[in-house]
Amino acid sequence: MLYLVPTPIGNLSDITFRAIDILRSVDLIVAEDTRTSSILLNHYQIQKPLSPYHQHNEHLVSNHLAEQMLAGKNIALLTDAGTPGISDPAHFLIKTCIAHQIEVQCLPGATAFVPALVNSGLATDQFCFEGFLPLKKGRQTCLKRLALETRTMIFYESPMRLVKTLSHFIEYFGADRLCCVSRELTKKFEENKRGALQEVHDYFNAKTVKGEIVIVVAGANID
């Protein structure tokens, strides 16, 4: 069996009892970054064989991992933070397991966009998760499409590109569109900056931005 195990996005206490039990019981843990996952595993005194699985090797190792599971091994997949498969590698291994009729279980747990959406104060009844926007090719087309999106939109972004992305949102969505930028969720210096896009842009443009970023933007008001 393959277990997809969500891991904390910052605070190491944000992990379920079941996740810890699974990690202690499996035969092998595969991780996006073994160094990052080792911090969590050492914190909970979990000692298991650890192997890398990331976007650069997933096509090479997925069949090998499937063979191990077909031979009777249980494997847990970890990403650096959050739920595997959400803007993180996992999809190819899941498809490989399904093709080989290997059972896949995804545990419930941490993911960054849910708390960012809920505490944004924007509508939560309908929303779309866009993840990371294209860096160059297709970015303009994507933003033109999203300018007419009426649902609340959720994006991931790096701190280095935050201000530039907010400027693009102003260009395509309008300076007065409401948004919330969440930074360092669950950590000591968690910050949620709410307001119009122009206001939030100016705020972050005047400071050094650090940490993981989630941007939540109100949908278009089309009558």
At 223 the pLDDT is 67
Cα angle vertex 163, ends 157, 165, to 5°? 55
Say which CATH number the domain at 127 has: 3.30.950.10
Q: In terms of domains, do 102 and 160 share one? A: no
Do 100 and 133 lie in one domain? The reply is no
| pTM given for the model | 0.92
- Structure confidence at residue 136 (pLDDT): 85
Per residue in 147-177, pLDDT (tens digit) is 999 999 999 999 999 999 999 999 999 999 9
CATH code where residue 23 lies: 3.40.1010.10
pLDDT tens, 10-42? Answer: 999 999 999 999 999 999 999 999 999 999 999
Please state, in angstroms and rounded to a whole number, the distance separating the CA atoms of residues 220 and 134: 21
The Cα-based distances of 20 to 39, 81, 202 in angstroms read 14, 15, 42
Domain that holds residue 163: 113-217
Identify the DSSP state of 191: E
Coil, strand or helix: which one is 3?
A: strand
Q: Is 36 within 8 Å of 9 (Cβ atoms)? A: no
- For the chain, the domain total comes to 2
